[in-house]
Amino acid sequence: MALFPSNFSASFLNLAPSRPSISASFSKTPLLPWRNRRSNSLNLRFLPPPFHLLHPLQISPISCRFSSPPSSPSPVDLGPKVDKLPAALEISESQEPNSRVRLSVGVPPAVCEDCRSRTIAEFMKQAKIPGFRPGKKVPESILESYVGKDNIQKAIVESILKRTLPHAMSSVEGRALKDSVRITSKFSDLEDTFSSQGSLRYDIVVDIAPEVRWVPENGYRNLKVVVEIDNEINAQKASEQELKRRHKSLSILRIVTDRGLQIGDVAVIDISATTIGEDQSVGQKIPSAESKGYNFDTEDGDKVLPGFVDSLIGIQRGETKSFPLVFPESWKQEDLRGVHAQFTVECKELFYRELPPLDDSLADKLLPGSTMLEQVKEALLQRCLEVEQTAKDQATDNAILDQLCKMVEVDIPQSIFEEEGRQLYGAKLLQIQANMKLNEQQLAILSSPKAVKEYLDNQEDNIKHVIKQNLAVGDIFKRENLQVATDELMKEVENSIAEFKRSKQEYDEERVQEQVQDILEGAKVLEWLREHAEIEYITPH
């Protein structure tokens, strides 16, 4: 990413590009909704599930400040119980880290033999063996030679697993999370055990709904939050800057011919930089610092690298200046923090602005429909006040959520971690796709299992932080018996579906309703917390 973009904003020189600016729209960072939906059947798996990624265009475009999960993750639905077993299973349960339970299941010979008989009978019913009418009993030796002994053995073991698994899972019914049930025993080992002993023992691991523990208990009811409000988030200052920007857009650029650069001018410059070693020797080039034909407004000096503007004052058209600067420790690119660099700047063109008088005659041009300058100022101030309040609300919500995260202890199941991570990564891809218009090959690479796994590994702390916030919010919604009005829910669902249709995207109406429900529940919780918390606002110096 180039440090000097070709547009007019000096993002390379911005010391705090991530801080909210009232002159721009404040982006919301919602807690992405997740829900472990109920499943109508169990998936028999003998290997860990592969990483996969929902196509980013299938992610709900619901727009809101925040969302929360349900009061607790939805458990897996084991479905109706199968027929009664001829003998009881031997089941032992042990707790494992990350809200995981291991079940050791012993299937007695009587159950195995019953499953074997049923499987053989089914083979006889389905097999078409020459010399025997369909459905007629066939000697097992002939059936084995026709179907294959190994195939029959595999089918018997599968029958035992499918028949006994719902019974084995009864102890975690209502707690097991969807798509987290996994048989850890090797299928080949189960075949060998059944073949030699006529019985079976297998292990299951399953993630269960995590328990949220508050430290102290119900601590969220006495929440004390300190919210830092950026001193740049000031409506009066922002409205003045916006008026100045609009005034400057009506100016005429004139070529400077008889002097050097001064504050207020606009220069077209070529920039390059190299690192400086401790012995003052010139080191390597900094490719991201190279820019050709960069339009630099000297009035943006408060947003750029300290010393950059001062070093350029007086430079004339056609002149080249070289000067050293140090990247501050707050620099966005971590690898450049504290780096000593030698900058070389060539001034290609130099302009000054010829501004029209700032009076009522410009009102309509500054803000269409206005007739007086005071109208313009008042309208801009009101807009900035709205943005200021939005920024304040967002900062408050973020501070509350961060505080909640510090007050909860929870063992996060791996299945929830992976689902949340994929949703976050999918949202990231959606944003990249919107900005860069990725082709199918690029999207396939970024959606590959390797790319997803790298994201999950690199963002582990952030993902867990989001999950803890979600669980905390969901737990509060449940504890405080908060409710979402049905008409409010239906209205938001309709709006979200309409948005899908406008963008011509496919959607699952049930999933949309779940996500909207999550979002509204989160909003209710944050509203409740803002009313009951002790909130202090400070402006750091």
What pLDDT digit, counting tens, does each position of 355-369 carry?
999 999 999 999 999
Closest CA to 105 of 54, 161, 159: 161
Candidate from 140-154, 323-337, 402-416 with smallest mean pLDDT? 140-154
Could you read off the pLDDT of 272-293 as tens digits, one per residue?
999 987 766 667 888 888 889 9
pLDDT at 388 over 50: yes
State the pLDDT at residue 28.
33
3-state secondary structure 242-291: HHHHHHHHCCEEEECCCCCCCCCCEEEEEEEEEEECCCCCEEEECHHHCE
Calculate the average pLDDT of the chain.
80
Q: How far is CA 400 from CA 231, 286, 391, 396, 460, in A?
A: 20, 40, 14, 6, 21
Angle made by CA atoms 453, 433, 295, in degrees to the nearest 5: 115
pLDDT at 441 over 70: yes
Q: pLDDT tier at 2 (50, 70, 90 boundaries)?
A: very low
3-state secondary structure 129-165: CCCCCCCCCCCHHHHHHHHCHHHHHHHHHHHHHHHHH
Q: Which residue has the higher pLDDT, 24 or 200?
A: 200
The two tokens of residue 152 are 């029959």
Is the pTM of the predicted complex or chain greater than 0.85?
A: no
Closest CA to 59 of 424, 421, 418: 424
pLDDT at 443 over 90: no
CATH placement of domain 90-209: 3.30.70.1050
Candidate from 103-112, 202-211, 231-240 with smallest mean pLDDT? 231-240
Please, are residues 519 and 33 in contact by the beta-carbon 8 Å criterion? Answer: yes
DSSP code at position 516: H
Q: Which residues contact 423 (CB under 8 A, 6 or more apart)?
A: 32, 33, 34, 54, 59
Helix 140-147 and helix 109-126: axis angle, to 10°?
Answer: 70
Domain boundaries, the chain: 56-71+214-231+373-538, 90-209, 252-354
The two tokens of residue 129 are 């063996």
Angle made by CA atoms 64, 66, 69, in degrees to the nearest 5: 120
The span from the CA of 73 to the CA of 474, in Å, is 9
Could you read off the pLDDT of 501-535 as tens digits, one per residue?
888 888 889 889 988 999 999 999 999 999 999 99
State the pLDDT at residue 55.
27
The correct CATH number of 252-354 out of 3.50.50.60, 3.30.70.20, 3.30.428.10, 3.10.50.40 is 3.10.50.40
pLDDT at 300 over 50: yes
The span from the CA of 213 to the CA of 273, in Å, is 53
Element (H, E) at 102: strand 100-107
Cis peptide before 139, with omega less than 30 degrees from 0? no
State the pLDDT at residue 459.
94
Which segments within 335-431 are labelled E, that is strand? 340-354, 408-409
Q: Which amino acid is at 161?
A: L
Q: Where does residue 1 rank: exposed (0-12), middle (13-18), buried (19+ CB within 10 A)?
A: exposed
Please, are residues 205 and 182 in contact by the beta-carbon 8 Å criterion? Answer: yes
Please, are residues 206 and 96 in contact by the beta-carbon 8 Å criterion? Answer: no
State the pLDDT at residue 329.
87
The correct CATH number of 56-71+214-231+373-538 out of 1.10.3120, 1.10.3470, 1.20.144, 3.40.50 is 1.10.3120
Could you read off the pLDDT of 210-246 as tens digits, one per residue?
999 999 998 999 899 999 887 667 888 889 999 999 9
Candidate from 80-84, 163-167, 348-352 with smallest mean pLDDT? 80-84
Please, are residues 76 and 38 in contact by the beta-carbon 8 Å criterion? Answer: yes
Q: How far is CA 24 from CA 19, 300, 432, 534, 536, in A?
A: 11, 15, 20, 29, 25
Q: How far is CA 154 from CA 114, 123, 199, 269, 416, in A?
A: 15, 12, 14, 74, 32
The span from the CA of 226 to the CA of 224, in Å, is 7
Please, are residues 107 and 86 in contact by the beta-carbon 8 Å criterion? Answer: no
pLDDT at 306 over 60: yes
Helices (H) and strands (E) in the chain, counts: 14, 14
pLDDT at 131 over 90: no
Mean pLDDT of 71-81: 42
Please, are residues 171 and 181 in contact by the beta-carbon 8 Å criterion? Answer: no
| Cα pseudo-dihedral 417, 420, 422, 424, rounded to 10 | -130
DSSP assignment of 8-76 equals: SS-TTT-S-TTS--TTSPPPP-----------SSPPP-SSPPPP----GGGS-----S-----SSPPBP
Q: What share of the chain is helix, strand, coil (3-state, %, to 5)?
A: 45, 15, 40
Does this chain's domain 56-71+214-231+373-538 share its CATH topology with 252-354?
no
Please, are residues 26 and 383 in contact by the beta-carbon 8 Å criterion? Answer: no
State the pLDDT at residue 33.
37
Mean pLDDT of 160-164: 93
State the pLDDT at residue 136.
66
State the pLDDT at residue 334.
82
